[in-house]
Amino acid sequence: MLFTCPLCGAPLKEEANRWFCPKGHSYDKARSGYVNLLLAGGKHAKLPGDNKMMVASRQAFLNKGYYRSMADVLCETAAKYLPAGGVLLDAGCGEGYYTALMAKKLEAEGKPAEVYGVDISKFALDKAARRRKDIRFAAASVFHMPMTDDSVDLMTEVFAPYCGEEFARILKPGGIMLLVIPARLHLWELKCAIYDEPYENEVREYPLEGFEFIESIPVDGEITLDNNADIQSLFQMTPYYYKTSEEGQRRAAALQQLTTRTSFEVLVYRKLDYFV
């Protein structure tokens, strides 16, 4: 087991209803199966991370397959780079949509893995833990993950905050990191529909300290949402919802159909030796 005690850093052991360390620190499992390893002092809010509305909206949207083309590329890339019997961590796993699909793909490829997911939102983790009982999920910040050093073969991060030092710490020497980012014109038509002055997404430069850049895999497409419920799910699961004026929100609420491009990049990196 790769989870560590957030109080003392010792390895945790798993029992039916809890995780515990040799020093007696104990962490109960939630009814759905995830464990809360986020200490009170590590929270920036009473209920940090995505709220119930964002989680429910994202789950409803993703479950309809709108982003399945990107998910398939992510799964194929994970299967390509993860060694047989390896350890996979989905950092910022949300409600576990991509985590579960990757686990399923690895099994289909004859490369079953030990799979973990970490997210700061309890609402998201409750959904994630109900998807697959064999994936170990924990509430924790991606900036301070309760996992042992040099323990993960492949780490994925989809639209989550980036923390290079922490990701390098938990990856094995030569370990692989997959980042999924929105490209410049991702959801451009949605922005045009709700904003007077739509803006392009900022895209980070490929080089990252401590990592070797291997490749970028573009995933471009188009989706049509033919009802307001799905449009609202898309809108409410994004940061746009909280950055939009009341007028913009009224425009989104009035939309009954939307066709918009989707544009992602799956970025592949390898941990460099000097982080060893």
For residue range 113-171, what is the model confidence (pLDDT) as tens digits?
999 999 999 999 999 999 999 999 999 999 999 999 999 999 999 999 999 999 999 99
DSSP per-residue letters across the chain: --BB-TTT-PBPEE-SSEEE-TTS-EEEBPTTS-EE---GGG-SSSS-SS-HHHHHHHHHHHHTTTTHHHHHHHHHHHHHHSPTT-EEEEET-TTSHHHHHHHHHHHHTT---EEEEEES-HHHHHHHHHH-TTSEEEE--TTS--B-TT-EEEEEEES----HHHHHHHEEEEEEEEEEEE-TTTTHHHHHHH-SS--PPP---S--TTEEEEEEEEEEEEEEE-SHHHHHHHHHHSTHHHHS-HHHHHHHHH-S-EEEEEEEEEEEEEE-GGG-
- Going from N- to C-terminal start, the domains of the chain cover 13-275
Q: Name the CATH topology of 13-275.
A: Rossmann fold (3.40.50)
pLDDT by position in tens, the chain (length 276): 799 999 999 999 999 999 999 999 999 999 999 999 998 755 444 556 789 999 999 999 999 999 999 999 999 999 999 998 999 999 999 999 999 999 999 999 999 999 999 999 999 999 999 999 999 999 999 999 999 999 999 999 999 999 999 999 999 999 999 999 999 999 999 999 999 999 999 998 899 999 999 999 999 999 999 999 999 999 999 888 888 889 999 999 999 999 999 999 999 999 997 644
